[in-house]
Structure formats: C-alpha cells, structure tokens
Structure 1
Amino acid sequence: MLDLSGTELGPEERERLRHPLVGGVILFARNYASPAQLAELTRAIHALREPRLLIGVDHEGGRVQRFREGFTPIPPMRRLGEVWDAHPQAARRLAHQVGYVLAAELRACGVDFSFTPVLDLDWGTSGVIGDRAFHRHPQAVSELAHALMLGMKAAGMAAVGKHFPGHGHVAADSHLAVPVDERERADLDLADLIPFRQMIDYGLPAIMPAHVIYPRVDARPAGFSPVWLQQILRAELGFTGAIFSDDLSMEGASVAGDVVARARAALTAGCDMVLVCNDPQAAQAVLNRLDWTQPAVSLARLARLHGRPGARDLTRLHEDPRYAAAMHAVGSIGGKTPELPLNASNDPCAQR
C-alpha cells in the first residue's frame, strides 16, 4: 500500500500503482482539497486496475482526521469514553452514530476503508495514543469500538483495529523511536489484549499490529513477529481477517533492516499487506527488489475490505434523514448535554 504526492495522479504514480506488487493506496491530508476533488481522485485510482486497488485513510477523528473542510468534525474517541463514564448506553449509541457518519462520508467520496478504531488502552503514558483511545478500561474500549464498527458497517465500510497487541502502555512514539513494553504476557492478557480478543469475536475485518517490542513474548516488534501474528493472533485468538503492517518508514520498523528487508519480514511474519508511506524512493525500492508471491488466502482477506457498492454521493447523503440525525448526534459530543440513553431496544449493541 503506497501513498501519493498530491491531489491528483501524476504519470509516474499511475505507472507505479499498476505494478503487480501494489494492492492499495493510503491517502493523507495533502491528497485532499474538497469532497469533489477527492471523489475524482478515488475514481481515477479505482479505474487503474481490475480488481480495483484498495483505498484507505487514517480517519479516526480528533487530531487524526485527514479530511477536514467539507467533512463532519469527528471528536477524539476519548470524548466517547467520557460519555461512557456517566451513560454507557448513550455512549454506545453515539459511537454507532460516529462510525456511521465517518464511514458514510468517506464512502460517498470513494474511500474503501479507514484505519480505525484505535483499540489501545489509555494508560496515560503514551502521547502518540493519548485521546485517540476510547478509555483506560478494556470493557469500555471493547463496547465503544464494537458500536463504532457496527456504524461503519451500516455505511458500507470495514473497520481496522489497531495497534495489536496494544501501544498505550509505552511512552515512546514508534514514528520516532523503537518502543519496548517490558510487561509479561499475562499482564497483556488481563488488560490490553481484551479489546482485541472481543473485537475478533465480534467479527473485526482487519488489524494493524504495533511497531512495539514486547521482549517477554518475542524480541521482534509485533508487526514482524510470527509469534504475535501467527501463533497468538491467528492460532490462539482465531483471527481470520486481514493484517496490515504499520508504516514501514517509521523508526519503530528500523530494527528489521532496510525497507525491502522490512517488507519481507512483515509479510513473512504474517501481514497480508505492508504500508510504505512518505518515501517514494523506498516504495520504488520495494517494488524493484521484493520477490514475493501473494498467497491466495491473503488476496481473499483483502478483497473483503472493498467498500460496499451503492454509496450515495455527498449531495444525496446530506438529504438522508438518517445521516442528518447521526450528524446532529456527533455534533453533540463534547458538549455539556450529550444525547442521553434511549431504551435498550434502540441500543445498537444491545441488539447483538
């Protein structure tokens, strides 16, 4: 999965995206000017190949929302956790509405999926996670993330949980350093792994592992570890969805060698798709030098992440009463009087 330099495809980028090793595109704020421009860009990307390239984006809300002007401001997930403390049922309903608005707007512009929700616990030590996390308590994270995923699914979009098995306990930022979490496996089982385990049981379609080393389990970062990805995530937890590496250009990935070695290590460990972002030369090096044949099972997992057909364009979406109600609910989050609980029969999670 590669990135782009601007708001439209250049000739070199078109050629690169046609390479057989490329399976997707990740978009950033630099690729966005307006909803109309974004829709045209995604149409151009999808027209390049058959089957179509996947298009993803980090669109979580709060400080990680790539598209702003013309999109509904999504609050940081911590706001939902704060509502949970007083009104868990209302928080679940609001999380469902957030997921619906987030996904419906992206699908209206042709984006297939978002790398959300964050399933890390808010231990109060990680600046890079911080208010991106729903809560400190695993059950709150699990239930809010489940509701968000159901809202996204209702809008035709798959969810990607991150950062397995939990990035919230370490202070170091894996963009800039190689974080090390010294806790025992049992400590992770009793806390950070709970949301991942429960979301897998709920049918989570995809997961992104952390560029964090857990030396009590394996000396390799989770995203390069067959222990974490094959023995624990696949065999023990029963995960059958897609696994995306985190960006291989991050400092947390440096322990695996140069970018080609990183890609090979992540794929060998069990990732179905690797991300190479913000470094066109590194991306080209992977395409030139990586010798890899994608297993059919990986292709099948990734194929499930294409956005559901039939998404409304933004004009029609804004005329939809369901969307208008959801957008109003999202706008209430963070205020003094967020929407209060409905009857349990109207709670999207209570029905499952």
Structure 2
Amino acid sequence: MGPLFLDLLGAELSAEERDMLQHPLVGGVILFSRNYQERAQLIELVRSIRAASKQYLLIAVDQEGGRVQRFRHQFSCIPAMGDIDAGARQLRMASVDLAEQLGWLMAVELRACDIDISFAPVLDINGCSDVIGTRAFSSNPEQIVSDAGGFISGMHHAGMKATGKHFPGHGNVKADTHHFEATDSRSFDEIKRYDLSVFRRLISQNKLDAVMPAHVIYSDVDDKPAGFSKRWLQQVLRKDLGFKGVIFSDDLSMQGAALAGDHVQRAEQALTAGCDYLLACNDRDASIRLLDGLPHTQVAHPDALRAKAYPMTWSELTALTQYRQIAARALEIQQISSELSEN
C-alpha cells in the first residue's frame, strides 16, 4: 500500500479515477459531500472503489459532526463536539457517556457503508480560531480529554480507529490554514502545558490510533509547519509522547502547506518529517503530478487503520433499539443547540 490518499470528482468513479486507484502509490480515498447523493449511491461508490483497486484501500471521510459532516441526508445528524456538554446537561447525562454514544453512532453508520475512517475527533482547544470553534469539545483541556476519550471509545466499539487532530493544537491560531499561512508565536512551554497536554494524555491512555498535524508554524519550536517538522513529529510526538500509531498529513493542497514548495516537494518533506500517509485533495492536476513524480514508497503498517469487521447492514442497524435511541438523542441535542443559539 502506498501513502497517497486521493479524492474523487463526483458521485461515481470515472475511467481516469479507476486507473489512478490502481497506482501503487495510492493507499486510500477521502470522500467529500460532492461524492454523496444518497446512502445507496454511497454504498455502490465504495464497492466500486474496492473493485477498482488491486489492493485494499482505506476509505475515509470527515464526519466529525456539526458543520463538518459530509454525509447528512439519510444519516444521523451528529452534533458539534462543542455542543455535547450543554446537551448532556439538558438530557441529565454525563457528557462523557453522551460523547461515547455519539462516537459509536457516527462510526457505526459509516461502517455499515464499508467506510474505514472518519478523521475524528478534533482535539484542539476552542480558543481564538474561527475554523475550529465548536468543532472542539471545549476550551478546557480536562473536558476535552474526558469527552474525546468517550467519543473515541464509542468509535472503537463500532470497529473504527480514531485520528486526533490537529497536532499539537490549532485552536489558538486565528488564520484558517485552508486559505492562509498561519503562525503560533506562543512559547513551547505554554503549548506543552495547554494544547499538547490533551494529546499526551490520550496517547498515554492508548486512545489514539492516528494523528494529523496542523499546517501551522509554531515559531518557538520550528520554522516549518508541524506536518513538515521532524522536531514536532519525530522528537515531540514519537519520542517525547511515545506515540506509536499512524501520522496523516493534512491536505497538501491547503495554503498553509504552500511554503513547502510544489505538491511533490510538499509530499517529500512530509514523508521525510515523519508522515505515513499524505492527503492530496481538491486539485486533480496536483494529484496526477504526485503519482508521476513522487518516488515509489510503501506504508510500513498498511493494515494498522483498517476497520474491524462490523457485519451489519443498514436494515439490521436500524432494527437495533440502541441505534434508534441514540439517533433520536443526537437529533434532540441538535434541537437544543439551535434553541440555545437563538436565545
């Protein structure tokens, strides 16, 4: 299996995409809202992706909940992580228990469509970043560790691995790295004490299967964004925190990655820094240049993130009382959140 995750242009595979998926550098596919019309179409798309490749490809999506949920119609409405605590109080539940149920709900629906990974949860602090905001569980690291730990447990119960993002923490950077280069000028000691403590504790609890670094420069530590930095990935994450899982780059087409050069240079620097997988999204020409220009390399542990079997169809899933109860609870939280925002 190769390191590249590619995207698709539409709701079904094109002839070009079928050829691309057979390239030895391709290790997975990331899906977006443009790839989704309805659940039956998604299941057929996943089937065709698997049929087109000569090897098992990991299929991923950003299905965090809240405003970042690619599949909505015919899926449960997963609330934003930042709404879980308030929703739990309204429902007279512990937030960690509600988070676990929602993690299970999100993951079990994707697994019923044969999707391996949702890139979740967000472990950033809810600070000054508009692009993070309520995607984060809280502004309190203790709360994040507790609720994210519950959410991950739910994902694991559904057979899905968890990806914590955006290491070492994106919440205290105002700029959106999709569109701008971003720098966090805080001291390493402050980042370590605050943002990094979330990752440290969840790694020590063996919760995180994968980590995705931010395209943010932490100027007190390195002049490169974290995803291109050996110091962040090999020294801090691997050695200091003892992380033994998989490292994904964030999307190499984002503006925050542009200072690393063209797409091939970005990919090479990310691999050299310590990334195992590379996301290359929303730029078909760049994806083709990567397939043509990136030296052939293989992922060391190709099965590390493959989802555990969850042999349940959608009809079997919807017959479960547990599923119906949790889906109804998720909808109730959405309604509570809407009412609170109106007031």
Q: TM-score range by the shorter chain?
A: over 0.9
For residues 244-268 of structure 1, give each alpha carbon's deviation from its aligned partner in whole angstroms, at most 9, with x where no partner exists: 0000000000010000000000011
1:249 to 1:104, Cα distance in 2 relative to 1, 3 A: same
Task: Kindly indicate whether the alpha-carbon contact (under 8 Å) linking 1:77 and 1:132 is maintained by their aligned counterparts in 2.
Answer: yes
State whether structure 2 residue 205 is matched by structure 1 residue 202. yes
Selected match of 2:130 from 127, 131, 136: 127
Q: 1 CA distance for matches of 2:282 and 2:335?
A: 36
Task: Kindly indicate whether the alpha-carbon contact (under 8 Å) linking 1:104 and 1:311 is maintained by their aligned counterparts in 2.
Answer: no
Q: Where does residue 172 of structure 2 map in the other structure?
A: 169
Q: Secondary structure at the match of 1:60?
A: strand
Task: Kindly indicate whether the alpha-carbon contact (under 8 Å) linking 1:97 and 1:329 is maintained by their aligned counterparts in 2.
Answer: no
Shift of 1:82: 3.0
Selected match of 2:250 from 246, 260, 267: 246
State whether structure 2 residue 39 is matched by structure 1 residue 39. no
State whether structure 2 residue 2 is matched by structure 1 residue 23. no
Q: Where does residue 223 of structure 1 map in the other structure?
A: 227
Q: Where does residue 282 of structure 1 map in the other structure?
A: 286
Shift of 1:85: 7.5
Shift of 1:114: 0.3
Instruction: State the AA in 1 paired with 2:332.
Output: S
Q: Where does residue 154 of structure 2 map in the other structure?
A: 151
Q: 2 CA distance for matches of 1:245 and 1:90?
A: 34
Alignment of 1:62-101 (within 5 A): 62-83=66-87, 90-101=94-105
Task: Kindly indicate whether the alpha-carbon contact (under 8 Å) linking 2:158 and 2:310 is maintained by their aligned counterparts in 1.
Answer: no
Q: 1 CA distance for matches of 2:258 and 2:336?
A: 45
Task: Kindly indicate whether the alpha-carbon contact (under 8 Å) linking 1:116 and 1:160 is maintained by their aligned counterparts in 2.
Answer: yes
For residues 240-297 of structure 1, give each alpha carbon's deviation from its aligned partner in whole angstroms, at most 9, with x where no partner exists: 1110000000000001000000000001100000011000100000110111422xxx
- Unaligned residue ranges in structure 2 (runs of 5+): 338-343
State whether structure 2 residue 5 is matched by structure 1 residue 6. no
Q: Where does residue 63 of structure 2 map in the other structure?
A: 59
Task: Kindly indicate whether the alpha-carbon contact (under 8 Å) linking 2:24 and 2:296 is maintained by their aligned counterparts in 1.
Answer: no
Shift of 1:331: 2.4
Shift of 1:88: 9.7
**More displaced stretch, 328-337 vs 89-98:** 328-337
State whether structure 2 residue 315 is matched by structure 1 residue 315. yes
Task: Kindly indicate whether the alpha-carbon contact (under 8 Å) linking 1:100 and 1:326 is maintained by their aligned counterparts in 2.
Answer: no
Q: 2 CA distance for matches of 1:67 and 1:32?
A: 7
Shift of 1:81: 3.4
TM-score, with length taken from structure 2? 0.93
Q: Where does residue 272 of structure 2 map in the other structure?
A: 268
Selected match of 1:191 from 162, 175, 194: 194
Task: Kindly indicate whether the alpha-carbon contact (under 8 Å) linking 1:102 and 1:152 is maintained by their aligned counterparts in 2.
Answer: yes
Q: Secondary structure at the match of 2:323?
A: helix
1:336 to 1:55, Cα distance in 2 relative to 1, 3 A: closer
TM-score, with length taken from structure 1? 0.91
Q: Where does residue 141 of structure 2 map in the other structure?
A: 138
Q: 2 CA distance for matches of 1:81 and 1:336?
A: 12
Q: 1 CA distance for matches of 2:92 and 2:203?
A: 21
1:258 to 1:93, Cα distance in 2 relative to 1, 3 A: same
1:84 to 1:331, Cα distance in 2 relative to 1, 3 A: closer
Query: Could you say what the CA RMSD is over the residues aligned between the two structures, in angstroms?
Result: 1.7
Q: Where does residue 350 of structure 1 map in the other structure?
A: none
Q: 2 CA distance for matches of 1:85 and 1:193?
A: 28
Q: 1 CA distance for matches of 2:248 and 2:31?
A: 15
1:81 to 1:178, Cα distance in 2 relative to 1, 3 A: farther
- Unaligned residue ranges in structure 1 (runs of 5+): 338-352
Q: 2 CA distance for matches of 1:165 and 1:18?
A: 34
Q: Secondary structure at the match of 2:220?
A: coil
